Amino acid sequence: MKSSHPRLPSQPSVPIRTFDISRRAFIRRCGLIAAMTGLPLWFIERQQLDAQEVPKTPTPNDRPGIALVGCGGMGKGDAKNASKYGEIIAVCDVDATHAAAAAKMFTVGEKVPAIYSDFRKVMARDDVHIIVNATPDHWHTLVNLAAARAHKDVYGEKPLTLTIDEGRRLVKVVQDSGIVLQTGTQQRSDGRFRLACELIRNNRIGRLQRANVWLPAGARGGPFPTVPVPEGLDWDFWQGQAPATAYVKERCHATFRYWYDYSGGTMTDWGAHHNDIAYWAIGILAPTHVESRRLSEPIPGGYTAIADYAVKYTYANGVDLNINSTEDDTLYGAVKNPGGQRNGIRFEGTDGWIWVNRDEITASDPQLLTTPLPEGAIRLYESKNHMGNFFDCVRSRKSPICDVETGHRSATMCHLATISLRTGKKLSWDPEKEKFVGWHSKLANGYVTREMRKPYDYSFID
């Protein structure tokens, strides 16, 4: 390992002492980080060495103008992170209360962000360089498409799209425009998940046989009454492409994700995170088969997304990926949940297993984690800060860790599951052509796209 203080031939004693002190300080710092994170020392040392890069030359884009579109709790959180790298100069929401709260939050001295209710007006501003898109899922695609056409870089919340067809369209427009788009599946920038995926890719647990994912169960509730639309909320605009309905407060804001009109339940919520990591570890474009079991049914007049479920994907190399809601202790095929593990991923191979979530990484044998990978091992894209990685790529114009194609493929995994759950069928998927084939394919392909309610279709952003 090379020191940042190389030995000078004319004065050997002082640099050697400096080297020793620096080395001890480096090891001590790495040891503290390892103790706090639970990551192995060799992995921390590698991360720290990789971080010793030449400082980037400042550019005029180091404090770009940022607009937040979608000012709920997640949006304000994303914008707060983004404000470390740029200036929040505009906020946009169809709920005037949310927009006003965001403007107040990001006011700096006399500088008050401009407030908008129509995101298309934000895209027309030349001083807005970056869009933070934290709208509900059914608005993700149109906002991202509008940003790409306006040549504005995007940090977009997950899942990237509401349907698979939206993803195909978005990938093309983003790639043609040359903008940087980072999907907000931030677990890729967490060292625990990258370590797990690198170990799997390097066969640390032998041949991967299956990955078991546990997700939180969804909400079951209803029937819900219609109530007056709150003052300041443009309910028709909020519904967008979805079918128009009378206002039900459970449809809006935080609980929108439990309605198929706007999202896909916990499968496209937490599933967008954990399925993305499974996709990263398995390293194959998509499964070839998906089947599912509905473990509960929606209550008439209530939330429509399936709350409790078991899903099984099968890959061309024989790997199974099982997704199960945590309300039930069995995976697809009645495999017991070991140790009551919740909300995470367990990779199982011929030589052991690795369990990882946002709090920990453990293994069937500690040496699976503590033994360093050899020189020449497969290395995955490294990011320690998801928002920071995005802004680094805005400056360099390189691809971020969760670019548009990655976000699309990860979202597709979630959409395949929801389509199987909604149809109740075992389905075959062609990853290259991105369509269902074989039995029940006509029925399933009907869910790959969906009709958009006018005027909130693609012409809305022309």
User: What is the DSSP track for 350-416?
Assistant: TTEEEEE-SS-EEESSTHHHHSPPPTT-------S-HHHHHHHHHHH-PPPTT-HHHHHHHHHHHHH
Please tell me whether residues 281 and 416 are part of one structural domain.
yes
| pLDDT at residue number 29 | 72
Low-confidence stretches of the chain (pLDDT beneath 50): 1-19, 54-55, 57-58, 329, 331-336
Identify the sign of the CA torsion 445, 448, 450, 455: negative
- pLDDT at residue 14, as a whole number: 38
Q: Are residues 285 and 263 in the same domain?
A: yes
Pair (229, 143) in one structural domain: no
Is 35 in the same domain as 145?
no
Neighbours of 285 (CB within 10 A): 14
Are 250 and 107 part of one and the same domain?
Answer: no
pLDDT, position 40: 80
Residue 415 in any domain: the answer is yes
- For residue 18, being part of any structural domain is answered with yes
Judgement on whether residues 295 and 420 belong to the same structural domain of the protein: yes
Residue 92 structural domain: 60-187
Per the structure, the count of domains in the chain is 3
Judgement on whether residues 203 and 180 belong to the same structural domain of the protein = no
* pLDDT value of position 8: 29
Are 212 and 297 members of one domain?
yes
The Cα–Cα gap between 161 and 138 comes to 7
CATH number at residue 110: 3.40.50.720
Residue 251 belongs to some domain of the structure: yes
Rounded CA-CA distance 202/354 in Å is: 13
Residue 222 CA to residue 301 CA, distance in Å, equals: 6
**Same-domain status, 365 and 291:** yes
Question: Which pLDDT value is given to residue 327?
Answer: 57
Of 154, 187, 220, the last residue of a domain is 187
For residue 272, the domain's CATH number is 3.30.360.10
Q: Is residue 387 part of a domain?
A: no
- Are both 364 and 256 inside the same structural domain? yes
Could you tell me if residue 194 is inside a domain? yes
Say if residue 132 is in the same domain as residue 179.
yes
Check whether residue 240 and residue 292 sit in a common domain.
yes
399 domain-assigned: no
CA distances 376 to 46, 202, 207, 370, 379, Å, are 14, 10, 19, 18, 8
